[in-house]
Chain A
Amino acid sequence: GAVVSQHPSWVICKSGTSVKIECRSLDFQATTMFWYRQFPKQSLMLMATSNEGSKATYEQGVEKDKFLINHASLTLSTLTVTSAHPEDSSFYICSARDPNADEQFFGPGTRLTVL
């Protein structure tokens, strides 16, 4: 299957700083990418849907000014957690839809810890 990478795989930052997480589709072009958040022993919660060249669509309750999403190319989407606080600590997972396979492929996730 297709491969989706995320970078970094884990990050520790101080409260108040911003953190950028990259999601790349390595062997296909993804017109749509998704960002999920997963709490320990919990389900994946969709945060936003990112379409290349347009603004992301955020789910209800997700602060768009705090979680900035950019999908500048067909193979790259970034999630920036601005002014991070300890409650933002979580596991962030991206996925990319391969239009040819009509399937979503998931990245390995990024563990964010805010001190």
Chain B
Amino acid sequence: AQSVTQPDIHITVSEGASLELRCNYSYGATPYLFWYVQSPGQGLQLLLKYFSGDTLVQGIKGFEAEFKRSQSSFNLRKPSVHWSDAAEYFCAVENQAGTALIFGKGTTLSVSS
């Protein structure tokens, strides 16, 4: 069965520092992978997605993620974090039926000044 693991429950990063959020997946075939951000009072917003092709994916708000099949990983990165990036981040994989998303437990990002 497909699953997504986000090993880090909570991460604190200084403003202006770089960020990497980890995501590992379990999936038999080529996965469709997503990163979402959830802010209080707002719906989940798609940051980026990977379906195929270039394994380095660029997203919105300066985020990028790299798909590494050998490591079953899809880590999210940002070179310089802003205070407004503080939020909950979810990695997800599309299920085999291609109908719904399976989410990791999320990583809470705090940004210190």
Which residues of chain A have a CB within 8 Å of any CB of chain B?
A: 1, 4, 9, 32, 34, 41-46, 49, 93, 95, 103-109
Contact = CB atoms under 8 A, between A and B. Distances in A.
A31 B102 CA distance: 20
A105 B36 CA distance: 11
B78 interface: no
Interface residues of B, number: 20
Contacts, number: 46
Interface in B68-94: 90
B43 A104 contact: no
A109 B38 CA distance: 11
Given A43-B90, A44-B90, A103-B46, A108 B41 contact: yes
A43 B42 contact: no
A42 B101 contact: no
B22 interface: no
